[in-house]
Structures are given as structure tokens and as C-alpha cells.
Structure 1
Amino acid sequence: MEKFFGKSLLLLLLISLWGCKETPQKTGTLMDFVPENASVILKITNWEGLQADIENNSLLSKFDKTIPYLFLSKQAPLLKYLHPDSQSLLCVNTLNDSLSAYTFIARQTSNLFHPDSIQDKIVETLKIDDHTFQRITLGEKIAFTTIVDSVFVTSSSQQILMNILKGRTEREATFKKVFELPTSGELTAILRGNKIFLTDSSGVDFTSWTAVDVSIAPESFKATGITLATDTIPQLLNIFDGQVPQQNDLADLVPIDALGAMSFTFDDAEQLQSQLRTFRGETEAVKTTGIFGSISEVGTIDTKGETALFIKSIDAALTSDALARFVTTENSFREIEIKSFSEPELFQKTFYPLINAQKANYVFQLDNFFVFTESEVSAQGLIASYQNATTLKNTSYFKKTAQDLSSSSSLLIFKMQGDFSESLSGFFNLNFQKSSKGISLKEFPLAALQFSVDRNFAHVTLSCREEGSAEIKNVASTVLEKFNVNLENPVLGIPQIIGDNGNVVVQDVGNKLYYLSENGKTLWSKNLGSPILGKIEEVDIYGKGNKQMAFATKNALYVLDRNGKDANQFPLKFKDEITQPLSVFDYDNNRKYRFMVVQGKDVLLYDKDGKTVKGFAFTKAKSNIVQSPEHIRIGKKDYIVIPEENGTLNILSRVGKPRISVAKKFHFSEIPISVEDNTFVVISAENTKERISEDGKVTSQNLKVGASYWFAINRNTKATLDNNLLRIDGKLVELPVGLYSRPHLFDIHNKTYITITEIQERKVYVFDSNADPLNGFPIYGTSEASLGKNETKNGIRLSVKGDSKGVIVYDID
């Protein structure tokens, strides 16, 4: 495609010099003067408008410092002297790899060309073989002109002009048929001998002639029309004869960082394979193992490292059964089995020249897709992008391009990352100049070329659009999988983001604690002997900004520094079992920490040095404590709330003395005691909302919600979940029906974010405080998620469990 656009500019160079003669009395048609073997014929309705469109097109302007464009600019003074009143033709003949000749054809009118206004020209009249024409020289440029039957013709090649005068013009019947097709718009391109470059640099003959209406807008380039193949020579389009185009779904699979992709569809696999064998000149059938009988789409995905193959099944169970005897389970990734495939050359043998890959070593299934890769690493990357929805389908620029395309086609080609290579440009039979190699076209993230067979021809569509940097980043690319690592044993609990650099701390079922760097490297590990209760709290007991991690297991209170070393007098060991997660209080934000440990009914309080805090009055409850004690501040008053199994809610002062007396007994749920509108809030096991004022008065509200209801509040933001109904500060988000984890609130960069995970579908959602989902979500994850800062200034990092042993970390832009 890059060749096509570069050459489109070069087409304009044909306007070297024009000459004219007196208008003859006879008249002819413009088609009668098209030179033999012209590779491109442009039918132009508005010549001056076309020049302006090309000048303003953002894609073509990328070539403003290349040799073709500079050569054009030197000829620019001549363009204003050309004023055809009606349709004109611009023809290109390729003489050799580096030289092309150009012919312009238009009805002669008094306004067409005024050479008298051009200075420093040399005009000569030549006569050869009874044919008279003019040679006009301006500097180093020469053009040959004549008028025949009221038609003005000029060419940069004397030989081509002589051939036209001798009647050696394009007379092929298929060309005439294509030329006379009705057109719309101001520009139609008629293209000869189209090639497709899918498997090798030489390309393969695809069709004989193509006619497309071209639309050039400042930020887009679109062409639509038809293409014809002949039966006299093998042409690839003919393999789709008798096939009904099926829906193309390759955009569902293609990662956004891929270089390109291609797919072809069919409704009769045996017929397609037979016609491919005929195209290749083969007589012996290739055994296909029965795999392709239940599929409708086959394609390739080009990544930076290799080419992956895929098939889309209309019955995944049948396809899986057909594959069964050729596969062996090797590994799994994100609960997807990756299997070895014993017929790596099958696709090349069956579908060449559409497919030439010979290393389909591994296969895995994603819904109705079966994907084949050369390596397990490539398989993991494709699985991750599919599960994270970081695929082409989810980008804004694909959604725009898809509006130009049919949902079903015979052949669909995507070129991405501004890589408009021969796969597209070859079809237009145009050569891209070497001087333009290396031009950055990143503003054009996607070009699509589509063919839909209809009887003895095919509809063709080309679409390419410019996008700004924000659009190119698109919905999906705002979330990047930073790393995915496996522990020695299955993950225990939730991987947790720690600190401002986005490090991760996680424990496995062997009770080993891992501290992972921002890039996923294990900095240290530590055997704890038992699971961590609840989450890890961050503290700064030395007051130097180097935070430590505080947490409890069933028999110890730990404070670890970032090197995994014990701080001060920690750990504190306990004979009796700790029954609730550690509570950490910092009443005045002055790092005078209090660590509260619960052992059944007993309460133990320690300072940052691990010493017992004397004078704390509440040391023992009347029944077992059912939640970790919470520190709550209302106004300028501090409260410690401790709920008991017998229904008592203790609301204490800093020193452990009763501060508010609550007469009512509660059936506490797992939802922590919180504060809302300056009242304490208890969500009971019966899903009643109990509000307790500072004078101890209780008001009850029946919430009328489901058994899975959850309530979470963080200062000014509140989130509730009732089945699949998530409300954030009263704004409703209706999630897909499923099984959801509890919503969690995180304050990061002075903003509040809410995370929630659909456990069965393994999808992690993140919302802001306005109940808007963050771009790129949901993503893959199998547990509740943790949010924190990453190493960038305003970045967010998310950690979540992947496979049973896997930890996945994402960066959110």
C-alpha cells in the first residue's frame, strides 16, 4: 500500500510540458487513445480538484521531501496551465524497474492549455511516418504532444505517442468492459494485472483488471470498485468461484501491536482445496486430516517475531475432535492448554499460495478459534492479548475502518503500524520509490484491503485513515501487561502492589512470601510458616520515607523492610493463635503507629518498636471478636470500633475506654464497620443498614438486596454491589450477569478507583469515582485486584492472580 500511495504522487509527474494544435473537425473517444500495456489509467472528472486533494491529503504529504515529490514540485508551475473542461485520462506505462512514462488524454478545448504564457520553452514540430507532433522542452523536461480527432494527447515518451498515432492502443475486451463501467466521484483508477503479495516477494497473479472509485480526503484514502479475473491464465481470484463469502472475525484475534493479518473465507472447504490444486497445477490431492471440514475462515497474523495461523470453526467440538490425534498437551497458560501439533506443514501444503508458513508447531483454542504458532512464547502473547481485549477489534481506528468494509468477504488483508508493504501496493501494480523507504507512517495505524467474490467478479475496497496520537493509543492500548510470572507453588491470596515504584508482594500456598520488582524479578523471598491474615499494611516506623510492610500470621506479627529484613524487635511471636488480620492505627498521621492484635476475645496493643502499649483499657471482649478493629475519625474525634460475636459493638476512645454506648445488638456480616455522613454504619448479616449516631441512637433500613450484597466506602466515595448491579456514589453500572468479587476502593494520585472481578469469566474491571470504566477494561484476572502507583509520575499499576501459580501485573496509562 505504501507503494501505491508513493506512486500516486509520482503519477502527477507526467505533466512535463503540453503543446497544442488547431482543433480538427473529427472527434474520438478518450478510451481510443489509451496506450497499449498501460498499467494504470486514471479517469479524472475534476483535474484541478484532484490536485488540491492530493496536495492536502495527510498521507500523501508524508512524501514531501522524497525525490518523487520534489520532482513534482519543480514541475508545479506547469500544472496551472492545464484546464480540461471535462473528463481526462492519466495513463502510466512502466518501461522498466526505475522508469515510467506518462500519457495525458483530454478533449481539446480553447481553455485546455496556453503554452504562450510559459517562458523559456523550446517548441519543435516533428514529422515521422506521416505523423506530425510537437516536442516541447523546458529545462531538462520533454513532452510530446498532438491533437487527433479533437483529442489532446501528450506523453513523456515519444515512442508511446507514435504508437498511439499508429493506432496501437489498448483494445483488450476486458479493459473496455471495465473502462465503460459506471463511475461515481471525481477519480476512478483502472489497474492492470493485479498481484497479491502474501507469501513471497514475487507476488502472485490475482486478477486481470480492476476499476475503483477513489476518494481522497485530508485524513483518509478510500477506493471501492470491482476486479475481474480471466479463465485463460491462472489467477488467484478464481479459487473463490462458487464460494459464498463468510464473516471475517480475524480482528477479534489480532493483537494491536501486530504488523498485519490476513484471512480468507469459504463455505465449501473441499471445493476451495480442489481449486487451489488446480491453480498450483497439481493433480494429486493433499490429505487434510478432516480438520478443515468444519471451518469457515483461515488466516495469518504477522507479529514482530513470527507468523501465527488460525482457523475459525463453525463447530468447535467437531474441529477439536478432528485435531485430537495430532496434538499432545505441552503446557497451559491462563487456563488455556497449549498443545504440540504434529503436522506443522499442513497449512502450507493445503492453502499455498495463500499461506506459506511451515512451522505450525503449537495449537490452542480461544472460543471458536484454533490458533497455531511456531513457539509457546508467541502462543502466550496471543492468549494474553485476546483475554485482555488488547486486540484490533477494540480499537477506535478499526471501528472507523470497519464502517467502510463489508462484514463478510472472500479475502481480507490488514496492514498495521504504518507498514504499507507489497501486500497492498502490489495489487495496484505500482512501485514504491526506494527514496521513500523509512518514512514514518505511524499516524496511519491500519490499512484494509477487502475482496468479496460475486459471480465472475469481486467487489474490492481499500480503506486507510489517519488517526491522532490519542486515537492510536485507543481503548485497548491504555492497559499494558507489564509482566506475568509464576511462583514455585500456587498463589495464596491477592498479589498486592506495595510502594510508589509498583513492586508486588505475594505469598504462595507453601507460605513463602515473594517480593517482586517493578519488572517482575524476585528480589527476595521469605518462608513465613503460615498464611498472612488479611492484607499487608505499609508503615514508616523510622520516619525516613523508606516504608516497611506490617502484617500478622496466626502466630506472629511481622514488620519487614524492603530487603526482607525484620525491623526493630520484630517479629513478635505468640503462643496463642491470632484470629483477625492486623490493625494498624496512626491517629495523627505522625507515624506513632499502634499495632493491634486480636486473639479470640483478647486485644493486644503494641507500638512501632514492638513494645506493649500501657494504659489501653480494652484488653478483653466478652465474646470472640469477629472483625479486625477499625480506627474511625468523625470530625476531630477518634474512635476504635470492635464488633463481637454476641452482637455487641464496642466504640472506644484512643485509650480503649467506652466512648459511645450502643444498646442494640447486631448480627454482624463480613462487611467492615465504616462511617457515612458522620454516622457509623453496620451492614448486618440480614442486609439491614444500621446507622449509629455519635449519641448512640440507632436507625435501621431494610436494603432489600441479594445475599451477595457488599458495601464499601472510602471517605467521599461509596460503592455497593448487589448481584451484577454496581453503584458508585449512586450511579448505576449494570455489569454482565456473573459471579463477582467484592468491590475494593483505592485512592491513587488524589483520585478514587474501584476494582471488581468477574470470577467465572476471569475479567477484572476498574471504574473511576464517576462510575466510568477505565479505557481498556475488562482485562484478564482470576482474583480480586490490587491497585497502586507505578514508577511513572501519574501511572497506575494493577496486580492480580493469573494461573494458579501466576502473578500478572498491568500498567494503566
Structure 2
Amino acid sequence: MAIIKVSNMESLESAITNNDFLQRFSKTNAYATLQKKIGNLSVFRPESDILFCFSKDNNDSLQFSIITRLHKGLFKTDSLTDYKEETLSYNDKTIIKSTINNTSFYSAHIDSTFFASSSKSIVEGIFTPTEKYITLDKIFNTTSNDKTFSIGISENSTFLKSMFIEDSLSINSFTQSIVADVELNQDGIYFNGITIAEDSTKSLINIFKNTIPQENQTYRIAPANCDGFMSFTFDNYKTFGTNLAKFNNQDSIANNAALFNDIIEVGVIYQGKKRAIILNTLDVIATHDALLNEQTQTDTYRGISLFNFSQPALFAKTFKPLISHSNAKLYCIIDNFFIFAEDLEILQNIIASFQNKTTLADKAYFKSSSDKLSDASSLLQIINASSLKSIIDKNLEENKSYSLKRYDATGIQFIYDNNFAHVNGIITKSKSKTRANSVSEELNIKLSADVLNTPQFVINHITNEKEIVVQDVKNNLYLISNKGKILWKKQLQGPVLGKIEQIDIYKNGRLQLAFATPNRVYVLARNGKEVKPFSLKFKHEITQPLAVFDYDKRKNYRLLVTQGKNVLMYTVKGKIVRGFKFNSANSTILTQPKHFRIGTKDYITIKTANKIYILDRLGKTRIKPKSSHNYSSQPLYLYNNTFTTTTDSGDLISIDTRGNVSQKRLNLSKNHFLETTSKTLITQSENKLSIKNRTTELDFGDYSNPKIFYINDKIYVSTTDIQSHKVYLFDSQSKLLPNFPVYGNSSIELDNIDKDKNLEFITIGDANSIILYQMN
């Protein structure tokens, strides 16, 4: 049996869809069978953890079961067009048979626990629970709710037969049960957990009992072109050998202990059907002396002496079943490694790779994988893509054509502790080496529906890194980590207006998301839950993005809601600010209200088609412009200490603090864009982008509004041609940055979202996806 615990169904569904490794199996029979069995699970909406149990019946057919807390709304059938339900009885108990799209499952509940299965007999079995159901909570009490899912694999499971290259190492002989947390991202799978084998003599993992893991060093001499290696370590060979002898039902360890007395690591390098055995010694002289009868030199290669070895089956006899190779006829010595192999070819490859610095130790993809693992472990296996495929084929029992190209360093390790072992693993796609000034695609995240609005970055107040927030056309709002994991998905009552702001209501450093939809104002905590008293509901439509003011930077926020020509001001307690006296504008407000500070004075600006209101905190007129114009729909900015916008005919309007109005002809088209910082002004008119009076003519197209980003004392300006799917990024001198334009379908957000020095930007990719790029 295999059991999977999930805390966030949306995150799991997205992770599977976006994980490159899992999608490589989408054409296999095993994937199709699983999809058919669990296709109806999307109708469930659990509010707590859900357990998925997979088992084989007497006909060797896959069956699934789910267990979760019963609640109203767990399983809604109202919107299902092809749903049938039948009530069955079993020993005076009620079982519901549900059929959706010609696929049936059975369900029942005991008290507050809901149970469903593709097998009627499994559901019947829950009314007479066995030990395996009673101990489910105990199995998972070491797992985390922060990972994509947790998995438990029980003794004699038919779902995982092997994790090793060596056929002699089956999972059932290796250990009894494994429980691990699994994290999926776009290019990798990471897992860590524990494995337990209570019977110390029947499970191979217990041969490491009473030993201390040592640093695995076989990678230092494993050629980069090998198929992988396995390494096992111990601090005392006698203890290890005694444990291994008990496992193999032998009375005592082999008589050749002298060769292994100073060994702390034994490695196996795999190269096709060939093997090389590695002994890593603490005392080169002592180990050399143990081989005094094996000093017949047969050749030299690159200054390294090669010797005959008269006991080719020694390692298979001594380390069975970890080693099955029984043809080690030659050996050589490199540093503290004694290397045994069946022919010259594999020894020469090891020697040449070591001297040429082309071992795994010299490869970036190996370093990237090994950084996720511990330096010291009882047993470690690192394999390349072809070996990984061979192991998977043994488990799938089918030879389907799929490629695992670029999965160059998959690793699993076991670190023995008191009566259990820690298990860590990584399956990750190696990245191409980045060139200076290159732009690389880091993430391509698919949503469950088409993207509605431009994705943006928000601050993770725990890590101080950035995360991604985006909405789809079904009004689902997503919070996504900078590794591509969907942290939550929340259904909203409409599209988000404009940009989402972040506030700190409780003044404790924990940030909330604040924004408006056409009829609500939301404040969401980091976990996606609404912060009371929000959301606020409005009868009349909200027509502009929520404006958030923090006058004195003391987190005494004011939230401004625009409805047509009216503006309402709220506190973060959801109360109307009675002291704000602005009644209404002369006509519909065109842009989001803004707050500026010049010197010690605050200014609130509101703009209609022919009037600009410049108010104080109370909503009273602070500045009355001395002339009026027909204004464009572009926002109002504070540029060179003047309130700056444009007319609908494309002229630049500047208003100073005395109300003086200046007008400058810019020859902009009617559908132009304006954006400024306090000292930099940019405009875009059709295909002409002007940055600080330097104009660049772009190809004709359909351009998004340009954006200014001020990062690390540098100014960047972006614009996107939606028609040709090109994202442009310029510096402050209007010079296009190297390797731009890149593919994209919306304006971008640019920032440093993690702890490295490279900048990243996010944009819409295909209709249902967003792309995260990195500037290297």
C-alpha cells in the first residue's frame, strides 16, 4: 500500500501539472491508468488534510481510497451534469455509490470521517477496521504540512519495487516502511523523511546499526561519463561486517578482514554492464600492506601502476547484496582510493577523468544536486538519466518511450540513526550554464484557467523574498512562491482592480494583501484567509483600484474606495473616516486617487475628464489649479515637485504648489502612455518610446503601458508589444538591454525576488501560464 497525505489540493494539482519530470510520463500506461482512477477527485473540496491510499486488489488492479474530515460542501453534486447516486446497504450500514462520467466510486462516513474508494469491498472494510487503518495517524506524525505532499510506503508494497541499480537490492529486502515529505517544483522533486525496519535481521538498512556515517567521497573519482555510483560508509568495519553477516545468515565476517580494517567507505562505479569497486581508506599504508600478495604489476597508465588481483569474487562475497559484481581482476591506487575493476578500460577511464578534472566532482549539475544532500551518509546512490530510466522501468513494468534527458544527477541517501534512518532524495533537471547578460526562463507556471491580469510580485515577510500573485479568468487569486509552488488559490467575487497593495494592519511585520474588486474590498493574510472585518461588501460598483495611504509611515492606513464620482475613506477596521469631507467630483473619476508629500504637507489628488482636485488629508481643497483642460486617462504623478499628467490631445500638464499650470506640447497621439518617477519622465505614443527626451522608434504594434523600475540605483523601462509577443527592457539612456526582446504577453514586474544578485521579471506566457525570467 502507498498512502499520500495532501494539505493543499490546488497546490498539488498545479505542482503535478507544472513538474517537468512527472509530465515526461504523461504518455505511459501507468499515468493513464492513474488518471482514469482519480479523475473524479477534483469534485472534492476538503477543508483539512486528505489521505489518498493506493493498493492492488486480488486481480492486481489499481484501487484508490480517500480519507478526510466530513464537512458541508466537501462533495457538491449540484453542478454535475452526468451524476448518478445509489444507496447501498452493508450490515445495516449505508454506502453511497456515485457515478460521474461512467466512473463509479463508493463512499461512507463514520462520525466525522469521510471515506471513499473505487472498490466497494474496501469501503465495506472500514466498518471493521484493521491495525493498518488505526495507525494511519502514527505513520504521518513526523510529516510536514508545508510540502506538496507526504507519502508513506508500507511493507511489501507493490508500488515501489526498487530504488537501486543493483537488482539484488529490492525495496522489500532493504526496509519495511518509508515516510517522506515531497516537494515538487518545475524542474525537480525533493524528498526527505525516515525509514523504519523493526526486525533488525531481515532488513538491509539495519546493517548500519551502531555505525556512524562517514563522508561519501566516491564522487571525487567517479568519471562524469559513468552511469552513476553507490557508496556505503561506516566508522568500524568489524561492526558493519558483523551486522552484514547476520543479515546474510552467516556465522561470522569473512576471513579477509585485514583488507577492510581501515576502510571507511566502499563504492561502486557503474559504467554500462561494467563495475569498479572503490575502497576509501584511512590508512593507505596499512591497506597497501594487506595487498602485499597482490603486487604483480600488469601495466601502467598515465604514471599509475595497474596490478593483477587474484580474488575477483571477494567483494561480492563480502558485501552481498550491496555488491553483486564478481569479476574484479585488476586494481590501482589513486590518493586514498583503491580501485578494483574487471578490465583496463574502466580503470583507464577513472584515471584519465581524475587527472583531467572531468569527474562528477567537477560538474556543476552534480554540485547542485549534492548541495541538497548531506555530506555524510550510510548509503548514497547518484545516477544519471539512463540509469534513472532503467530503475523506473523496473517499477512501471512497461517499456514506454519517454526521455529523461538532463536528469543527470538523481540522488538518494540513507543516514542511519537510532533504530531508524533518515532518507533524503533529489530528482532534478540540470540547468544549462548561464552566460553573462543572458536572459533565462526560470519558471513557466500553468494555472487551472486562463490568466486574467498582469502578475505582480509581493513581499514574503517571513523570508523577505518576493512571491507572485496573479488572477485567472474564473476569478481565482493565486499566491505562488518564487520556486513556482502554488501556496494557495482563493475564489474572489470578481476581478482585481489594478495593483494589489501590501499593508501591516497589526504593526508586527506581518503583511496582508489589500485590493478591491467591483463590489468588495479584501484584506487577505499570508495564508489566503480574510482578515476581519474584511471583506467589505458594496452595493454600488467600485470603479478604480483601491488606494492605500500611509501618511506618516506609521502604518495608520487609510483605504480609499472610488465609486464613479464618489470617494469613500476607510480605516483598517473597516470604518468610514468621518473626518474626510470630500463629497463628490464633478464627473466620473478617471484614475486611482493618489497621495503625495511635498515638504511637510500631504496632498491627495483626484482626476476627472476636465478637473484635477488637489486636497488635504480632510478632503478639503489645498490647491486649486488656475486653469482646466480636457485630461487623458493617464494617472497623475509627482514629477519635479509638480503634479503632472497629460491632456487627451497629448500635451504635458504640470501644476505647482501655488496652482500655477504649465502646458508643454509633446505631440503625443490620443492613445498615449505616461509614467514618471520624481525625476524621470517617459512617454509612449504608438511605436515611439521616449525616456528622458531620448526617443526610440519600435516596430509598429499593440503596446502595453510602459513601466519604470528603480532598482539598485538604476532605472529600467519596460514595454511589451502584445501583438508580436515581445517584452522590451531599456536603461535610462533609452538603450535596449542585451538579449531583449523576449517572449511575453503582458507588461512586466521587475525586481530581485530572491537572495542572489540577479534580477527577475514576470509576465504572461501562453493564455493559461505565467513566465518568470532571470537576467544573468
Residues of 2 paired with 1:471 and 1:278: CA distance? 51
Residue identity opposite 1:58 in structure 2:
D
Counterpart residue number, 1:223: 191
Counterpart residue number, 1:185: 146
Q: After TM superposition, list the pairs within 5 Å mapping 1:369-388 onto structure 2.
A: 369-388=337-356
Counterpart residue number, 1:52: 14
Q: Does 1:117 align with 2:79?
A: yes
Q: Does 1:89 align with 2:51?
A: yes
Q: 1:434 aligns with which of 393, 398, 402?
A: 398
Counterpart residue number, 1:234: 202
Kept in 1, the 8 Å contact 2:38–2:64? The answer is no
Residues of 2 paired with 1:439 and 1:355: CA distance? 29
- Once the two structures are TM-superposed, the CA of residue 131 in structure 1 deviates from its matched residue by 2.2
| Residues 438/261 of structure 1: CA separation in 2 closer, same or farther (3 Å cut) | farther
Q: After TM superposition, list the pairs within 5 Å mapping 1:444-455 onto structure 2.
A: 444-455=407-418
Residues 325-371 of structure 1: CA distance to partner in whole angstroms, max 9, x if unpaired?
12411000000011110111111111101111100100001111111
Residues of 2 paired with 1:67 and 1:114: CA distance? 31
Residues 255-300 of structure 1: CA distance to partner in whole angstroms, max 9, x if unpaired?
1121121010001101111111100111144211510011110011
Q: After TM superposition, list the pairs within 5 Å mapping 1:709-788 onto structure 2.
A: none
Counterpart residue number, 1:321: 289
- Once the two structures are TM-superposed, the CA of residue 182 in structure 1 deviates from its matched residue by 4.8
| Residues 284/74 of structure 1: CA separation in 2 closer, same or farther (3 Å cut) | closer
Residue identity opposite 1:446 in structure 2:
A
| Residues 240/425 of structure 1: CA separation in 2 closer, same or farther (3 Å cut) | farther
Q: After TM superposition, list the pairs within 5 Å mapping 1:601-750 onto structure 2.
A: none
| Residues 210/425 of structure 1: CA separation in 2 closer, same or farther (3 Å cut) | farther
Residues of 2 paired with 1:274 and 1:424: CA distance? 33
Residue identity opposite 1:315 in structure 2:
D
Q: Does 1:353 align with 2:321?
A: yes
- Once the two structures are TM-superposed, the CA of residue 423 in structure 1 deviates from its matched residue by 5.7
- Once the two structures are TM-superposed, the CA of residue 71 in structure 1 deviates from its matched residue by 4.8
Residues of 1 paired with 2:208 and 2:119: CA distance? 40
Q: 1:364 aligns with which of 314, 319, 332?
A: 332
Kept in 1, the 8 Å contact 2:180–2:193? The answer is yes
- Once the two structures are TM-superposed, the CA of residue 96 in structure 1 deviates from its matched residue by 6.0
Q: 2:419 aligns with which of 446, 456, 471?
A: 456
Residues of 2 paired with 1:328 and 1:417: CA distance? 38
- Once the two structures are TM-superposed, the CA of residue 99 in structure 1 deviates from its matched residue by 2.0
- Once the two structures are TM-superposed, the CA of residue 125 in structure 1 deviates from its matched residue by 1.1
Local SS of the residue matching 1:116? coil
Residue identity opposite 1:226 in structure 2:
I
- Once the two structures are TM-superposed, the CA of residue 176 in structure 1 deviates from its matched residue by 5.4
Residues of 2 paired with 1:202 and 1:261: CA distance? 14
Residues of 1 paired with 2:168 and 2:85: CA distance? 44
- Once the two structures are TM-superposed, the CA of residue 68 in structure 1 deviates from its matched residue by 3.7
Counterpart residue number, 2:105: 143
Residues 179-233 of structure 1: CA distance to partner in whole angstroms, max 9, x if unpaired?
2225242321112127654532672512222221110011110001111111266
Residues 108-128 of structure 1: CA distance to partner in whole angstroms, max 9, x if unpaired?
122211123222233211112
Q: Does 1:61 align with 2:23?
A: yes
Counterpart residue number, 2:175: 207
Residue identity opposite 1:434 in structure 2:
E
Counterpart residue number, 2:222: 254
Residue identity opposite 1:340 in structure 2:
N
Residues of 2 paired with 1:123 and 1:419: CA distance? 47
Kept in 1, the 8 Å contact 2:40–2:100? The answer is no
> Could you list the runs of 5+ residues in structure 2 that have no partner in the other structure?
436-776
Q: After TM superposition, list the pairs within 5 Å mapping 1:511-660 onto structure 2.
A: none
Kept in 2, the 8 Å contact 1:409–1:453? The answer is yes
Q: Greater CA deviation, 163-172 or 50-59?
A: 163-172
Residues of 2 paired with 1:228 and 1:462: CA distance? 16
| Residues 422/40 of structure 1: CA separation in 2 closer, same or farther (3 Å cut) | farther
Residues 126-161 of structure 1: CA distance to partner in whole angstroms, max 9, x if unpaired?
112222201223344221111221111111111111
Kept in 2, the 8 Å contact 1:327–1:342? The answer is no
- The percent of aligned pairs where both chains have the same amino acid is 32
Local SS of the residue matching 2:261? helix
Residues 732-785 of structure 1: CA distance to partner in whole angstroms, max 9, x if unpaired?
xxxxxxxxxxxxxxxxxxxxxxxxxxxxxxxxxxxxxxxxxxxxxxxxxxxxxx
| Residues 340/438 of structure 1: CA separation in 2 closer, same or farther (3 Å cut) | farther
Residues of 2 paired with 1:423 and 1:74: CA distance? 24
Residues of 2 paired with 1:70 and 1:239: CA distance? 39
Counterpart residue number, 1:283: 251
- Once the two structures are TM-superposed, the CA of residue 239 in structure 1 deviates from its matched residue by 0.7
Local SS of the residue matching 2:132? coil
Local SS of the residue matching 2:286? helix
Kept in 2, the 8 Å contact 1:136–1:144? The answer is yes
Residue identity opposite 2:4 in structure 1:
L
| Residues 355/96 of structure 1: CA separation in 2 closer, same or farther (3 Å cut) | farther
Counterpart residue number, 1:484: none
Residues of 1 paired with 2:37 and 2:146: CA distance? 26
Kept in 1, the 8 Å contact 2:242–2:252? The answer is no
Residue identity opposite 2:396 in structure 1:
F
Local SS of the residue matching 1:255? coil
Select the structure with the greater relative contact order (CA < 8 A; seq sep ≥ 6).
Answer: 1
Q: After TM superposition, list the pairs within 5 Å mapping 1:419-498 onto structure 2.
A: 419-420=387-388, 431-432=395-396, 434=398, 437-470=400-433
Q: TM-score, normalised by structure 1?
A: 0.50
Local SS of the residue matching 1:419? helix
Kept in 2, the 8 Å contact 1:43–1:88? The answer is yes
| Residues 234/198 of structure 1: CA separation in 2 closer, same or farther (3 Å cut) | farther
Kept in 1, the 8 Å contact 2:143–2:150? The answer is no
Kept in 2, the 8 Å contact 1:198–1:355? The answer is no
Residues of 2 paired with 1:445 and 1:339: CA distance? 32
Counterpart residue number, 2:689: none
Residues of 2 paired with 1:130 and 1:76: CA distance? 29
Q: 2:61 aligns with which of 92, 95, 99?
A: 99
Structure showing greater Rg = 1
Q: TM-score, normalised by structure 2?
A: 0.52
> Could you list the runs of 5+ residues in structure 1 that have no partner in the other structure?
1-38, 473-813
| Residues 392/452 of structure 1: CA separation in 2 closer, same or farther (3 Å cut) | same
Counterpart residue number, 1:475: none
Residues 562-602 of structure 1: CA distance to partner in whole angstroms, max 9, x if unpaired?
xxxxxxxxxxxxxxxxxxxxxxxxxxxxxxxxxxxxxxxxx
Kept in 2, the 8 Å contact 1:418–1:446? The answer is no
Kept in 2, the 8 Å contact 1:289–1:322? The answer is no
| Residues 266/142 of structure 1: CA separation in 2 closer, same or farther (3 Å cut) | same
- Once the two structures are TM-superposed, the CA of residue 313 in structure 1 deviates from its matched residue by 0.8
| Residues 461/235 of structure 1: CA separation in 2 closer, same or farther (3 Å cut) | same
| Residues 366/357 of structure 1: CA separation in 2 closer, same or farther (3 Å cut) | same
Q: 2:3 aligns with which of 22, 41, 44?
A: 41
Residues of 2 paired with 1:395 and 1:76: CA distance? 40
Residues 472-504 of structure 1: CA distance to partner in whole angstroms, max 9, x if unpaired?
9xxxxxxxxxxxxxxxxxxxxxxxxxxxxxxxx
Residues of 2 paired with 1:471 and 1:201: CA distance? 40
Local SS of the residue matching 1:215? strand
Residues of 2 paired with 1:467 and 1:363: CA distance? 33
Kept in 2, the 8 Å contact 1:196–1:206? The answer is no
Residues of 1 paired with 2:265 and 2:392: CA distance? 20
| Residues 351/423 of structure 1: CA separation in 2 closer, same or farther (3 Å cut) | farther
Residues of 1 paired with 2:183 and 2:34: CA distance? 21
Residues of 2 paired with 1:114 and 1:177: CA distance? 31
Local SS of the residue matching 2:254? coil
